[in-house]
């Protein structure tokens, strides 16, 4: 029973570290840094002015769509790891050994 609890606690720790890394690591769309899952960057301010208005607007919209999709994927993975860590932590806390009763007849 103790090995099961240790394995579940180890899994909870690994999932917690994975959640932290997913929350704080930067997401990229091409060569553009989109920010992290917790602190996304405003992609409208990252546009380049090449002189062609249509091409500039298209590139801004394309980068914004890619960043939005990548950050959403990062957030889904973050929530999945948080939920899995909570489930394995709850399972580890429930796998405690039963309390042994004192020997002898009950008083009642």
Average pLDDT score, the chain? 83
Single pTM value for the model: 0.75
Phi–psi pair at 50, nearest 5 degrees: -100, -10
Task: Measure the CA–CA gap between 50 and 57, rounded to whole angstroms.
Answer: 10
Give me the count of residues in the chain: 108
User: Under a CB-based contact definition with an 8 Å cutoff, are residues 13 and 86 in contact?
Assistant: no
Contacting residues for 19 by C-beta, under 8 A, at least 6 apart: 78, 81, 82, 85
Within 10 angstroms of residue 10's Cβ, the number of other Cβ atoms is 12
Q: What is the pLDDT of residues 50-101, one digit of tens each?
A: 677 777 778 788 888 888 899 899 999 999 999 999 999 999 888 766 677 7
């Amino acid at each position: 029973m103790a090995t099961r609890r240790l394995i579940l606690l180890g899994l909870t720790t690994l999932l917690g570290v994975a959640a932290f890394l997913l929350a704080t690591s930067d997401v990229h769309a091409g060569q553009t840094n989109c920010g992290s899952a917790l602190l996304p960057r405003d992609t409208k301010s990252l546009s380049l002015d090449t002189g062609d208005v249509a091409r500039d607007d298209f590139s801004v919209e394309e980068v914004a769509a890619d960043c939005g999709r990548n950050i959403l994927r990062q957030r889904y993975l973050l929530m999945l790891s948080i939920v899995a860590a909570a489930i394995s932590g709850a399972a580890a806390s429930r796998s405690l050994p039963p309390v042994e009763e004192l020997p002898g007849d009950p008083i009642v």
